Each structure stands twice: as C-alpha cells, then as structure tokens.
Amino acid sequence: MSGKPKTIIAIAVSNNRIAMVFLIDKQPMDWEVSYVAAASIGNAANKVTEWIDHYSADIVVTENLCATTRKGRRTRHLQEAVENAAVHSRAQHIDVLRHQPFPSKYEQIDDLVVRYPQLKAIAPLKRKYWENEPHVVTIFEAMALAEKITRS
C-alpha cells in the first residue's frame, strides 16, 4: 500500500444533534452523536474542531445547503457554524448536496448497512409515524454524505 490512507470526517446536522462518521480508507471506523454540540453555534464549532483535531482528518465533508432546503433556520445556523469550523481547519473541506435516492431514510440505512456491515449494530428499525426519529439516523445521514465522495 503506498502512502497514508485518506482519513475523512463526514458531519451531518440535525435540529437537536450533530453527528460525525470517521472513515479510514473509505471504511467507517468511528461515529458519534452530540446533543451538546447542537445546543449553540459556539458549541457546534468547538465540537467540530475537536473532532477534526482528534482524528487528524485529511478531508471534512459537510452538507451543502441549497436554497431549496427544508431545514429550519436554527439548523441552517448550526450548519453554517460547522462549515466555518471545517473551512478554518487544516483539513480539506468538501460540501456535497444531499441526495435521497430512496423513498425513506430507513431504506437508505438498509442499503448502507449492506456495504458497511460494521454499522449494522447501530442501525435503527423503521419507526412508526408517531415515534420520534432515533438519534442514530443522523449518523447514517453523515455516512451518506461521506459516500458521495468515496464512491466517486
């Protein structure tokens, strides 16, 4: 194997949580969800900087929020803080458009688990419409963002 494998951190922002997936050579090695990071813009920027420094990531992947996003104002502000922290780090920052190729997030999760079996342990079951979304869904959103650049 020539050279050091690429290390990637993909970060997804939700209303009340921020999730990260760390990949080495296109394989997820670690993941985390933080509610504290989503409590404020400052917390979000600090947590992202902490993740990037801790993992010494080569690339940071975030979601590119287009004008037609359905995300709320608070989530957009958190996303901007995450992007600012990524841009001001030593890592290369790549923002990608989120694409939903499946009818539901849970079908996408099932598809990701097939390719990345190490994520099977945290994969949620499809929820009933009255249930809250499991927090680990945001990890899979981050993984889907990472996959946009690793599969190209």
Lookup: tokens for 81: 């803080």
In this prediction the pTM is 0.92
Answer whether 40's CB lies under 8 Å from 75's CB.
Answer: no
Apex 82 CA angle, 76 and 87, nearest 5: 125
pLDDT tens per residue across span 21-32: 999 999 999 999
Q: What is the pLDDT of residue 150?
A: 86
* CA–CA distance, 10 with 148 (Å, rounded to integer): 10
Other C-beta atoms closer than 10 Å to the C-beta of 111 total 15
